[in-house]
Structure 1
């Protein structure tokens, strides 16, 4: 699933793909924001970790969990 994160006062977005489900990502973000955590961490499909400060979190956009189709459609 693709995740796009907007960070306040920054012109760029953080884009990456993760193997986690949408519900797991939503729960992690809600827990971090609700619990007053200073940051939240994400890991992409390649194993790279991202640490995002919750104070600067503008939005989190979750893509679909569909697998990509390969080939031609008749």
Structure 2
């Protein structure tokens, strides 16, 4: 699933592909809003750590489903 994080006072957003579920990402974001850091791991094992005070928004994409057929 794709997750995009907007950081305050930065023109570019952070975009990462993760194996986490949408609920797990939402829980990590809500836990970070208590004053900690937002800590996510992407599909390749790299960690993204953002101070919670700098988070502008988090866009949680749709979970990818395995497609079958000619359109996949």
Q: What is the aligned partner in structure 2 of residue 36 from structure 1?
A: 35
Question: Within 5 A, what are the aligned runs for 1:1-74?
Answer: 1-33=1-33, 35-37=34-36, 39-67=37-65, 69=67, 72-73=70-71
Give SS of 2:70's match.
Answer: coil
Report the alpha carbon displacement of residue 72 of structure 1 after superposing the two structures with TM: 2.8
Give SS of 1:45's match.
Answer: coil
In structure 1, list runs of 5 or more residues that go unmatched: none
* C-alpha contact 2:35 2:53 (8 A) present in aligned 1: no
Query: Taking structure 2 as the reference length, what is the TM-score of the superposition?
Result: 0.88
Distance 2:12 2:66 in 1: 26
